[in-house]
Structure 1
Amino acid sequence: MSTTELLGRLHPLLVHLPIGILLFGLGLMVVGRRKKTDVETAVSFAWGLGALSAVLACGAGWLLAQSGEYDADMVSRHQWTGLATAALAGLTYWLKNYRWPLALTTAVLLSVAGHYGGNLTHGEDYLFPGTTPLAEQPSTTPLSASVVAVNGQADSVNKGNQPLIRRTFMYRDEVVPILKASCYNCHSATKKKGGLRLDSEAFIKKGGKHGAVLSPGNPQKSKLYTYLVLPEDDERHMPPKGKLQLTPNQVAVIYRWIQKGASFKEEVEVIQPAETNTLAAERVGLPPQLLPLSSDSARVVVPSTESAPATVESTLLAKPVAASDPTTVAALKGEQISLVKLAETNYLSANFINVKAYNRQQLTQLSKLGGQLMHLRLSGQPVGDEDLPELASMTSLTRLALDHTRLTDAGLRTLTSLPNLEQLNLYGTAVSDEGLEVLARCPSLKVVYLWQTQTTPEGIQRLQKALPNLKIETGTGQLSRPTRPDSNKTI
């Protein structure tokens, strides 16, 4: 991230300063007039400071607008009303004889500028949404009118055991409500983060500045789906950490839509007699089954719904551990390795995302923190099997991300020496069924990610049989996450 990008991202922080300070200045003026108290010095200070903070907010806002991720017309309205507010605040400070009319005009303009800014951030319909909530809007193709017998005879209960035809518009009726509720704030005409818009067929097909997000018929190669089921602490996970997340059923809707070809048009679906129980449930108002419809059903591993016991991680976090050696921490930070404290403990999370020149010595240095290190992310680094022995001393490790590394089956043998390992990400590696046999000897393992690996449905089934409580994510099932600590703090 460049310096200008960083300064631009300070705009949401800076913009609240003039709002509070200028309104405080107006409040002082009201109090001074009503109580006939001399507050002139305080009023002048407030308006001067408010004008200065408004100028700083405008500067940061201008830098933020250069990203091109926001609607140009809305940015223009917010920008010019903001500049006018800053100018009027300055005049209010200097022209004491006209302070009252200028102050009142500034307050009105400040409200308008703030409203435009809110529209940019939350969408134009945030303050005054439509009268009918999205979830309650009726479909223009009622289910009762869209089911007919193949031979043309009306047969609402399918008494003749014949195939039925159902007209469906999955994109309009199921996908759009999800995108609107969870994605439009950052990916629509108002705001185009990453150059991506998801508010129309053309823009979804176009993708963003990082390429296409949709591969019809292949959810595993569609970022629109795969980013939804990444671990929440992955920077690529969508929606971002802290935002309202999609439910498993909503994720399954996106998966099913893409798998069926990602059609943007109404379709006719033939329902065989064996499927009509599901159809009947829909017709009487029961929710349909929204699990992914995969022909490769062996790769769908549905986790048990039984309540899980306390995780190894939560147990470890409750135990005190000595503080990390500050010299080692400083050396690792010098290598651009991010180190974050977990909750209010001395346990650490290490992330190599900013490391530009990876080498094994970095892992050797990191192994000195083996007792404190609980999370390790090596995603996308050229980590090979020969490097994995450096992890053997990291006995507190509960989460390990090795996705998109050079790892093969041979390197997994080291992981059997990690007694507390609960979550393992092997996405995009050359691991095969042979490696899964090694994982079967990791009894603490609770979640493993195996998308785009060399594993087979048969190998996955054998692993599931060896570890019945293991939740396996292959990109076609529901996402499972272990318990997360309440808060993290950078050290």
Structure 2
Amino acid sequence: MLTSKLKSILAQVLFAVNVFVLFLVLAESRVLIPDWLHVFGRMHPLLLHFPIVIILLAVLLVGIPEFLPKKEDSREYGTDLLLLGALTAGFTVIAGLLLSHETGYAKEALFWHKWTGLGIFWGSSLLYYFIDSQKQLVIKVGASFLALIVIVSGHLGASITHGENFITAPIENNEVVMVSLEEAEVFPHLIYPIIENKCLSCHKASKQKGELRMDTPENLLKGGESGPAVEPFDLENSLMAHRINLPEEDEEHMPPEGKPQLTEEERLILEAWISSGAIIDEKVMALPDTSSIYKLAVEKFSTAPKVYEFAAVSDEKIEALNNFYRKIQPLGIESPALSISYFGRANFDPNSLKELSEVKVQTISINLNNMPVKDEDLASLSAFPNLEKLYLNFTDIKGEGLQALMGLENLSLLSLAGNNLTDEAIEPISKLKNVKKLFLWNTGLSKESLEKLIAALPQTTIEIGTEEKSTLLMLNPPVIRFDKAFFKDKLEVKLTHPIGTTSIYYTLDGSEPDSSNFMLYEKPLEIKENITIKARAFAEGWIGSTVSEAEFIRATISPTSFQMLHLPEDRYKGDGKESLFDKKKAIPDVWNLNWLGFLNNPLEVEMEFKEPTDISSMAISLWQNIGSRFFPPKEVEIWTRPDASQNWKLSKTFRPQALEKNSPSFLRQVEIPYSENGIQHLKIVASPVDKLPSWHNSSGQKAYLMVDEIVLN
């Protein structure tokens, strides 16, 4: 039982907490939260358990005084617990209000949880202050309402943290749809169930942690504040793959520590999916059976393995036929059946198919996707009597050579997606009566030809993909490959795309490439000046990709030594002073280690050159983002001195043009009009904006100066 003196002190503290909470609520949109307070805000999930237990116990004692043998004891203990519960609820509410300033939470879900939480705090405070002056009926009603709002707020909080209907999910009818291997689709049946169970609690419409939604494939590929979660065909640069492989105790590990973790099988499936191009609109059976995602899917939708009567080929013979552009492997540990895959379009030789005569009986699958196979090359495939699956996606065939496949009685799957087939292809295809699965996505065949083919092959499942849905698929954007974005003399840049038949259009003037404004990429580009490359991928039967963009900046001069006189803010300290001249271009991500953020101090850098140096141009490379309070400098001063023994002399003062309300957010260079010869000691002082304009949501506060490089030429 609390002493009267302690109760008096705690009651005064409770009043002070009420005043502070009221201030936070009224000034929420205008208050600037210091970084250290965000640490306290993130303790909200830890603190909230205390007031819930204490308040519910207090409600029981004051609402039902008969709970203890002596009603007086029940009321007194309950009142003490109510004081402690209200006080702990106050600190929990403060932490929650601070946490709500961080991104990733849906406004509607956060709104109701916030106000029910405030209701608990204010309700428990009012009940404590007036409990002695109220009749038992009023106390019972107040206690019952308080218990109800605790339950409602807890449910809303659990829904934000763990997913909608987290508490009631076990009793809801969540019927799992089971499909066969033949019916299974890659994303809906293989990938999405993993995401739904392990990711959606934090990355959905109502809660977008890191501004990332994963409830649709479009949102998943779009990514969040740190960039795309998935880079098709690029496991190394996919954030999802990176974070699921971090140690569980790492704060960036996903799913977070304490939540259900991915199984080894789930992790392998996600990695294989990304490596295979983050496939969305395809069935599992349309995948090459040599791909890792196909093998994992077969295990997932397990079917009895087929038994073959022919003898196995020795491992030595298989190894002798393998090389850097061709892979031969058994379908299973005990299976004599073989699959063959080709890699590297430039290395393909049609005659290499004839080298496989020693394994022609055992070969049941051949993958020639993206190879420059022509119609006349298909004759070599007639030598494989047991061939069951043939993948000819994105090759150079027109279709007349498909008559060579008529003798393949075991051929059950034929995939011709992405080929520009002529209507003459219909006749040989229509004679492939044993084919059970035929894929003709984006083949350019006319509607009449497809109808004729469907009529000729009534027992065949014909997948025509985009034509069937009357929509087109969008290509992945091209990849811009280079060493460093800042260069001294020249730089080689390559544009690549995983689909070899795709045309890449690009521009060098910052405009977006389209059918009337482009250069066709044919060979690596040699960059010798400041340029912004924008590139898009196009192919017949596809929607053109989104734009890939990269800026390249020529920086020919670097100081022999330099020092930064003021440290950046802890939140954006990058790689220290080394970030200023490391020739690494930062990306628009606050966690990128190339950013130096200045708020309370200017960027002040003293440089020394080994020999007197002529400087013709100068720029500061920075991030402009009005919403995040990232502004160009208010003023830049250039100071020089002949040697270290003399005082600095002001050579130039420059004020960049002030931003307007609708100024775009982007990475940019602030050009400083300065040139001088024979410089040996140079100092740059760039001062952040100390008072945001009246039109800004945080008007009157300071702005950050976000810098990644100083450019001298």
**What's the TM-score once normalised by structure 2's chain length?**
0.35
- Which has the larger helix fraction? 1
- Which has the larger strand fraction? 2
User: Larger Rg: 1 or 2?
Assistant: 2
**What's the TM-score once normalised by structure 1's chain length?**
0.49
Structure number with greater CO (CA < 8 Å, separation at least 6) is: 1
